[in-house]
Amino acid sequence: CESKTSNSPFPSPFQLAALERQVFDFLGYQWAPILANFLHIIIVILGLFGTIQYRPRYIVVYAIWTAIWVTWNIFIICFYLEVGGLSKDSELLTFNISRHQSWWSENGPGCVRKEASMSGIKGLDNHSYISVIGCALEYRYIEVMHSSFQILVALVGFVYACYVVSVFTEEEDSFDFIGGFDPFPLYHVNEKPTNLLFKQTYL
């Protein structure tokens, strides 16, 4: 039984949003978001497979994941807005193995990146001091907008996933109603009672 909904392009925009987020996190060497985005892409693909192959359970997994994804993006927003003692300058998102920051911190709209040699300072030979000026928008607000967009997309995905699951469930119920899973064949004919057979034989 093929569903008309199975050909729906349900996760396509969600995949594009996840890939776009992954690219910029890779450029900024943000390891924690990279791992989260990778898992998100896998779950989105699983949701696509479940939609095409008529697997409601896979779509339910995607719907559950959207709640986790929303929670993660709320944490990212709190991180960059420094809510609850969090600091955007910490190395939390890089697992404390590097001092990289968001790619947008040096490449945001209007940002001009300047490097100044620090060879005259003892112990800092062959190093450069990087300053960024002229940014039209601070990078943390760009990251907040990114996460807010991901939350919006996730909420839309959750609603659509629930709709697809309900459609699949209704189709299964209607198929059961017309005898699709009836253990008795449709051509089954009730046999005559044995007492009638005895009367006919006696006559």
Residue 185: phi and psi, rounded to 5, are: -65, 155
Residue 65 covered by a domain:
yes
Domain-terminating residue out of 63, 82, 101 = 82
- The pLDDT value given to residue 197: 43
- The pLDDT value given to residue 171: 79
Tokens of 46: 């699983």
Residue 75 covered by a domain:
yes
Residue 1 covered by a domain:
no
Decide: helix, strand or coil at residue 182: coil
Residue 70 covered by a domain:
yes
Residue 186 covered by a domain:
no
- The pLDDT value given to residue 189: 45
Residue 102 covered by a domain:
no
Residue 60 covered by a domain:
yes
- The pLDDT value given to residue 124: 46
* Structural domain total, the chain: 2
Helix (H) or strand (E) holding 190: none
* Measured CA distances, 185 to 46, 175, 179, 182, 188 (Å): 36, 15, 9, 7, 5
- The pLDDT value given to residue 79: 95
Determine the structural domain holding residue 147 and report its residue range: 138-177
Residue 8 covered by a domain:
no
Name the DSSP letter for residue 110: T
- The pLDDT value given to residue 169: 85
Average pLDDT by consecutive 10-residue portion of the chain (203 residues)? 44 78 90 95 92 90 96 96 90 86 89 71 54 88 95 94 90 58 45 47 47
Domain-terminating residue out of 57, 82, 107 = 82
- Which residues have CB under 8 Å from 103's CB, separation 6+? 24, 25, 27, 28
